[in-house]
Structure 1
Amino acid sequence: MAKTIGFNFNFLDVGGGFPGYETEGKQSLSDIAKAINNSLEKYFPDEENVEVIAQPGRYYVQSAFTLAVRVIARRVELLDPQHYRPKDRDDTQKTFMYYLNDGLHGSFNVHILFEKHAPDFYLLENKDSMPVSQSSLWGPTCNPYDCITQEIELPELDIGDWLYVPNMGAYTTVLVSSFNRIPTPINLWIASDRVICELGYHSDKHLIVDKNE
């Protein structure tokens, strides 16, 4: 199309958004790279002398962090049997609203507003033997839109319980705000003794030493 109007490409940016980790059911980086290379060979062969670049920022840092969040409040409600009557639950089934110390105005901004899905949450304390209940997760700001997810099944949690979310590197803490004076997350760096020595670190209050390399 460009050539029909007299424009000859000499530079092409294929963009970014490449996944920084592999997960079942989603395309891997190798699959994406294969599709891109096939298109480049077809539309921009070597004889075209087009310089091609990409933006691999997400690929490098998407799995750089694991986010830890804490339950700071909770609300218990009874499900309305007229609107929710699953076969395996009685009419007095409870639903839980858990308020976390991070939310839509913090690390979950891009996940909820742009990617339209909540990440996977895991419990720090093993409660696999406990029954699960319909739950929702909310941020700490008192903003009625500060909802992380309204559909998640969790065992009953207490105030002070911890959850964690892996692969929260790209577009998370870089976009946090202190909306309603909510503190922003603290970065804790974990490294082995060998890595610390190689980097020349001696001590750091935000550095956790992993002696089991």
Structure 2
Amino acid sequence: MNYTILIAEDDNDIVKLLKLYLESSGYRVLTVDNGLSAFELIKNEQIDLAVVDIMMPKMDGYELIKKTREVKNIPILILSAKNQDTDKILGLNLGADDYMTKPFSPLEIIARVKANLRRFYNLNNGDSIVYKNAEIVIGELILNTEKLTLTKNGAEIIITPNEYKILALLMKSPGRVYTKSQICEAMNGELYDNYENVITVHISHLREKIESDSRNPRYIKNIRGLGYKIEE
């Protein structure tokens, strides 16, 4: 499949470099130099993955991610000079799927783009569990594993790709406890620095979306000292 990659970056040298490497890898590439134009493209074009800078004119990367998550469910990779853990956690909490800091290796960017596309669009390949109508139903929640959508009481809930992966892992085995490292590996294919805090953030964000009372969750339970499970 010829995926379309959006680059939202105001440094022209970086744009040229990324565009060269991505097109050489067979991707269709669209570029913009501000967050507002990026959001218009995401709304109106078929974008399969976005590479987003944080510091951009008209609309910064954080706001772009927030607004994107209101309308589309696509992988988002942040490429930023901001390298503090707090910056990474904020970006992931807002809905990004990956975070790379500048300066960067173009080959690593290509590898991360391929990995995120593979994880998101081929998530269910090889899955030995078959669900009727491709739906997993737990209580009021229905996770559609073909459309990659979540509904509660018939209303769609917008979740990020990483939130989908976590929820799919838990919902496929209700009652089973997963450690944070297992959740991270299922979500990302590997462990990374500060993964425990990142998983906590994702779980918190999911609870805010699916629970009637996130402080007293009905679905996602914390098993102290072990990890998380979802109740049937």
TM-score, length basis structure 2: 0.22
Pair member with larger Rg: 1
Q: Which has the higher contact order (CA 8 A, sep 6+)?
A: 1
- Where is the strand percentage greater, Structure 1 or Structure 2? 1
